[in-house]
Amino acid sequence: MSFNIDQAVRERITEIAKSRNESITKITGRAGVNQSTISQFMVGETQTLRVNTLYNFCLGCGMSLSEFFNFDSDVTIVNEDKKSPAGTNNEIINDILNSLNIIQDVMTINEASVRWNISFETIKSKFKARKTEQIAIWEKYGLVKKSGKSWLLTKQFMELNFGEEPQ
């Protein structure tokens, strides 16, 4: 079968829900993903799905983005964007996975607390006002970043402060 990337993602979401005998609604609820976002994407009202939405969907399924993009061999992804060359399926999938690997290294405090199995408060304590000099160093080296009211942390920050990520 041939799909563009959006069609392939829609098919994969459907395939995952069916394989788990769960509705997409149930998975998105567990993942904390806005149901209307997924619904609009699934029926084609929205043409793309943001990576963080897909990432959260995957968390709700207990899988990584790499596992999500592990398509069956009979699936062919075609490039309908005439602005860039198509490339082979493996090249397209590898490009996607390489870009997604970076995003998996950036997380919120909530995500980090789940991934490292430590409390939110333990991580949050690293950002108390009295530690502004240390925070400035972390920011300078790209280990953390304030985004609105939330802190974004890198995997390197977590490993530096809390050791390797548990498996």
Could you report the per-residue pLDDT of 75-89, keeping only the tens digit for each?
555 555 544 444 555
Report the pLDDT averaged over residues 18-27. Answer: 91
DSSP string, 106-124: EEEHHHHHHHHT--HHHHH
Residue 122 has a pLDDT of 93
Determine how many CB atoms are found less than 10 A away from the CB of residue 98: 9
Q: What is the pTM of this model?
A: 0.48
Separation between Cα atoms, residue 115 and residue 91, nearest integer Å:
29
21: which 2 tokens? 């005998």
> Any idea where the domains of the chain sit in the sequence?
2-103, 106-162
Across the range 42-65, mean pLDDT stands at 83
CATH fold for domain 2-103 = 434 Repressor (Amino-terminal Domain) (1.10.260)
Looking at per-residue pLDDT, the higher value among 16 and 141 belongs to 16
The C-alpha angle with vertex 54 and arms to 10 and 76, in degrees rounded to 5, equals 40
- Is pLDDT of 28 > 60? yes
Q: Note the pLDDT of residue 113.
A: 92
SS (H, E, C) 123-161: HHHHHCHHHHHHHHHHHHCCCEEEECCEEEEEHHHHHHH
Residue 95, pLDDT > 70, answer: no
Per cent of the chain over pLDDT 70 is: 77
Query: Phi and psi (nearest 5°) for 58?
Result: -60, -40
DSSP strand pairing (106-108 vs 150-154): antiparallel
Write down the pLDDT at residue 80: 52
Residue 3: band (very low, low, confident or very high) from pLDDT cuts 50, 70, 90: low
The residues near 95 (Cβ < 8 Å, ≥ 6 apart) are: 87
- The backbone torsions φ and ψ at residue 154, rounded to the nearest 5 degrees and listed phi first, read -95, 160
10-24, 53-67, 140-154: least confident range: 53-67
